[in-house]
Amino acid sequence: MTSENKLKILNDPIYGFITIPTTLLYDLIQHRYFQRLRRIKQMGLSSLVYPGAEHTRFHHALGCMHMMQKAVQVLHFKNVEISKEEEEALYIAILLHDIGHGPFSHAMEHSIVENIHHEEISLLFMEALNEEFEGKLSLAIEIFKGNYPRKFMIQLISSQMDMDRMDYLKRDSFYSGVAEGNINSERLIQMINVHNDVLVVEEKGIYSVEKFLVARRLMYWQCYLHKTSVGAELLLSKILKRAKQLTLQGIDLPASNALNFFLENSVLKADFNKEVLNNFALLDDADIYTALKNWQFHTDKVLSYLSNAIVNRKLFHVKLVDKNEFGSKLGYYQLLCKDKLQIDEEVDYFVFGDKLKNQAYDLKAEPIRIFTKNNEVIDVLEASDQYNLKALSEPVYKYFICYPKSIHKVD
């Protein structure tokens, strides 16, 4: 009997051929925890704005693994010692870095599960897989947690210029059609090196870094923080909160077993045992969409109105307002809503607001280090002659209010 060939080659629209380099990686990709990522869109509800943004977290994870392979090849070429065990651990860590995302994860993190972020759930999945794979993920987990002494390895996975960002900017730009986000990830990776065990970018790559930071800022305003998709995500969060509220009041809502589990139970970080994790692993976009399709016909006015808004793209108007006017404008639209829709205590479900924050380069985080021809290591802000790069480190805030278009003439 011949054994199965697990060293597969996959075709990717961004990079061409992607290879799965080891049998362990193949087995992890085949695992039901990872296969679930096929059923979760990478950009959540952004496809309501950009119809092409239908790619999945499965795509992204494989792309990150491919970027990590390229980075390791470059570092090997530059005589950076990385053992076979470390190499595989890097591939595992980056492959699984987003495995903890739920469907429309940012909406989920503020409604169905409480005070636990997807990074923490990713670690729980990795630990469960490590148990199942008899400790073969231990080194990957140490690197992922930042406990491994070779600092550049965690920087390849999570930093201001990591393999995660290398893939998602290029991939999300491709699928959304927002060309401004199309970075030259190949050149950026060719320019990386390691100095004193820290990840650096060689000086001749500085212009690529500048382009990368500008692209990140533009992608945030045009895609990730697009007011319509952010408004839709907040709307979904309100729907899930309402569904949970009704369920806890004893009202039966049609939903999948996995979704019902989270509607019926208050799930905190401390509650994430194996049973909770396995229920979470059964959740994907299909659970949410199927529930919304049913809930749009529910007798509860709030649940049906909001669910219909998502299912049939009758999205709320999202109005940008001045910070100083935010409170008064919110109160104004809430009064209008109470009058037009004949509601009172539920008005927070129909009129709500938030602020957007865009900061392409965080001065409080690990810097992007430039390795100069004089063998000095300096922050990219010091190395760059672009004044506007310093401006990218200043956070920019935009305040907005969402309300049904039917309550007021959109201005």
Of 77-81, 154-158, 283-287, 340-344, least confident by mean pLDDT is 340-344
Average pLDDT value for residue range 234-242: 94
> Residue 340 domain-assigned?
yes
Q: Which helix (H) or strand (E) holds 12?
A: strand 9-12
Same domain, yes or no: 113 and 190: yes
CATH code: domain of residue 307: 1.20.1250.30
Give the H or E element holding residue 76.
Answer: helix 57-77
Spatial strand order of the sheet with 317-321 comes to 317-321, 396-403, 352-358
1 within domain boundaries? no
Shared-domain flag, residues 197 and 176: yes
pLDDT digits (tens, 9 = 90+) for 198-231: 999 999 999 999 999 999 999 999 999 999 999 9
How many domains does the chain fold into?
Answer: 2
Looking at residue 112, its pLDDT comes to: 79
Average pLDDT for residues 137-146, to the nearest whole number? 97
Examine the pLDDT at 1 and tell me if it is beyond 50: no
SS3 content of the chain, % helix, strand, coil (to 5): 55, 10, 30
Q: What mean pLDDT is predicted for residues 11-30?
A: 96
Claim to verify: residue 123 and residue 27 sit in the same structural domain: yes
Lowest-confidence region among 38-42, 367-371, 377-381, 405-409: 405-409
Q: Assess if residue 181 is contained within a domain.
A: yes
Structure confidence by residue, pLDDT tens digits, 114-132: 778 888 999 999 999 999 9
Q: Which residue has the higher pLDDT, 55 or 410?
A: 55
328: in domain:
yes
Domain that holds residue 321: 243-357+400-407
Sign of CA dihedral 174, 121, 95, 147: positive
Q: Tell me, what CATH number does 206's domain have? A: 1.10.3210.10
Let me know if residue 238 belongs to a domain. Answer: no
Judgement on whether residues 186 and 63 belong to the same structural domain of the protein: yes
Examine the domain organization and report whether 260 and 338 are in the same domain.
yes
91 within domain boundaries = yes
Same domain, 295 and 381: no
Band (pLDDT 50/70/90 cuts) for residue 406 is confident
Q: Is residue 4 part of a domain?
A: no
- Are residues 258 and 293 located together in one domain of the fold? yes
Per-residue confidence (pLDDT) for residue 8, from 0 to 100: 87
Q: Using the predicted structure, report yes or no on whether residue 408 has a pLDDT greater than 90.
A: no
Strands (E), 149-228: 192-195, 198-202
Percent of the chain with pLDDT over 90: 83
- 266 domain residue, yes or no: yes
Angle at 73 between CA 68 and CA 77, to 5 degrees: 145
Q: Please give the Cα distance from 38 to 117 (Å, whole number).
A: 20
Are residues 116 and 165 located together in one domain of the fold? yes
- Give the mean pLDDT of the chain: 93
Find, among 289, 305, 325, 273, the residue nearest to 404 by Cα: 305
pLDDT at 3: 60
- 112 and 196 part of one domain: yes
| Model confidence pLDDT, tens digit, residues 168-185 | 999 999 999 999 999 999
| Beta strand segments in 77-209, E | 192-195, 198-202
Nearest C-alpha neighbor of 64 from the set 192, 147, 152, 171: 171
Q: Are residues 266 and 373 in the same domain?
A: no
- Examine the domain organization and report whether 50 and 191 are in the same domain: yes
Please tell me whether residues 186 and 206 are part of one structural domain: yes
Structure token digits, residue 235: 């709307």
